[in-house]
Amino acid sequence: MSPALLIDRLCKSYGTVTAVSDLDLRVEEGQIVGLLGPNGSGKTTTVECAYGLRKADSGTVRVFGLDARAEPGRVARLVGTQLQDSALPDRIKVGEAVHLFAALAHRPVDEAETLRRWGLADRRGAGFGSLSGGYRQRLLVALALVARPRLVFLDEMTTGLDPNARREVWDLVEEVRRGGTTVVLVTHFMDEAQRLCDRLAVLSRGRKIAEGTPTEIVNRYGGGTVVRFPVPPGQAVPRLGDLPGVQTVNHSDGRIEVRGHGPFLVALGHALTVAGLSRTPLDVASPSLEDAYVRLLRREVAP
Ligand SMILES: Nc1ncnc2c1ncn2[C@@H]1O[C@H](COP(=O)(O)OP(=O)(O)OP(=O)(O)O)[C@@H](O)[C@H]1O
Ligand SMILES: [Mg+2]
């Protein structure tokens, strides 16, 4: 079966600025795949090339096996998009916009149901220009889905949404996926990526620098789990550096900090128990996706 999206060695420059360089990306049908990366790293350019809005300098994009350049019309019918800089005329009303997009779709969703699900029913008569940032964003995401696309690109879909609205939109995106739609999600929010995405690709300066499930990225780049605990004065401390999975041990000001991977927590617990420290309060900090991301990018820009 063809993947929903297959990008092969995509390159795109704007004059002397290289926006995307030799990028490969494979998105299997039914997945939610996140594109992460700092500002200017090429995420929107990748999405725009994949959607056919921009012409790549080289490389290929296939959507469900179709060459996006050779068959733009067929590809467009399979794809929906909420682009980062999307906008509508200020005077178009919410209900009119949904109606317009539905009229252009081959097999549109129910308009009233869409307005209700996206919390827009009360604002159906409001002009786009009068909507707050969050409601504009909801409308643009809703419009991306009106034609029941098999693949949808959502570029910073929750930027500007309040915390509750973000969670509502996450639920809706999961529902969209349950309905069979594949999602490519560009986001700067690590909690969003962690919660929604099956896989992640991290871009930096137009190149893909990491890829994997959120858990894989955390394990690979998060720097390990850190355990801190106090040591009473005069207490003998076992040799912890030799335990399996331990990377570093630091001892200062009556506290020990052990950093490690994999099975080291069990080994550490056992060693402390044997040393008579079983009642010691342990402060355990596991790395988050944000920790991993920040470490990965620091490493990337380090000289
Ligand atoms: N239309 C354009 N003309 C010239 N340069 C552009 C254009 N669009 C993007 N760029 C440049 O291409 C590079 C990649 O931009 P892009 O918008 O793809 O990044 P991004 O990862 O989406 O960033 P952000 O997180 O800020 O949205 C940047 O250096 C940007 O300045
Ligand atoms: Mg962008």
CATH number of the domain enclosing 246: 3.30.70
Reference 50, options 80, 5, 18; nearest CA is: 5
pLDDT(85) > 80: no
Position 48 scores a pLDDT of 92
pLDDT of residue 101: 94
Residue 303's pLDDT is 61
Can you give the residue range of the structural domain that contains 230?
Answer: 224-286
101 found inside a domain: yes
Nearest Cα residue to atom 19 of ligand 1: 40
The rounded percent of the chain whose pLDDT value lies above 70 is 99
The distance from CA 288 to its chain's CA centroid, rounded to whole angstroms, is: 14
Q: Are residues 206 and 258 in the same domain?
A: no
Q: How far is the CA of 12 from the centre of ligand 1 (A)?
A: 10
102 & 248 share domain: no
Q: At 159, which amino acid appears?
A: T
Report the nearest atom of ligand 1 relative to the CA of 20.
14
pLDDT at 290: 96
Beta strands 283-285; 225-230: pairing state:
antiparallel
Per-residue pLDDT, averaged over 16-25, amounts to 96
* Structural domains counted in the chain: 2
The answer to whether position 294 is within a domain reads no
Q: Which residues line ligand 1 (CB under 6 A)?
A: 14, 17, 19, 37, 39-45, 84
| 208 and 236 part of one domain | no
For 201-226, the pLDDT digits (tens) are: 999 999 999 999 999 999 999 999 99
CA–centroid distance, residue 171 to ligand 2 (Å): 23
User: Could you tell me the CA-to-CA distances from 174 to 26, 30, 103, 208 in Å, in that order?
Assistant: 20, 10, 26, 25
Q: Do 101 and 247 fall within a single domain?
A: no
Q: How far away, in angstroms, is 25 Cα from ligand 1 center?
A: 18
Binning pLDDT at 50, 70 and 90, where does residue 52 land? confident
Query: Is residue 215 in some structural domain?
Result: yes
- Following DSSP, what letter does each residue of 117-131 receive, concatenated? HTT-GGGTTSBGGGS
The mean of the pLDDT values for the chain is 92
pLDDT band at 137 (very low <50, low <70, confident <90, very high): confident
Token digits of residue 267:
């080994």
Could you tell me the pLDDT band of residue 302, with boundaries at 50, 70 and 90?
low
Residue nearest to atom 15 of ligand 1 (CA): 40
Q: Which of 17, 35, 36, 157 to mutate to test the pocket of ligand 1 (most atoms within 8 A of CB)?
A: 17
Q: Quick one: average pLDDT of 135-158?
A: 92
Cβ atoms of 293 and 301 within 8 Å: the answer is: no
* pLDDT tens digits for range 236-287: 888 899 999 999 999 988 899 999 987 899 999 999 999 888 888 999 999 9
Percent above pLDDT 90 for the chain: 70
Counting ligands in written order, the one closest to the CA of 155 is 2
Closest ligand by atom to 19 CA: 1
pLDDT score of 133:
81
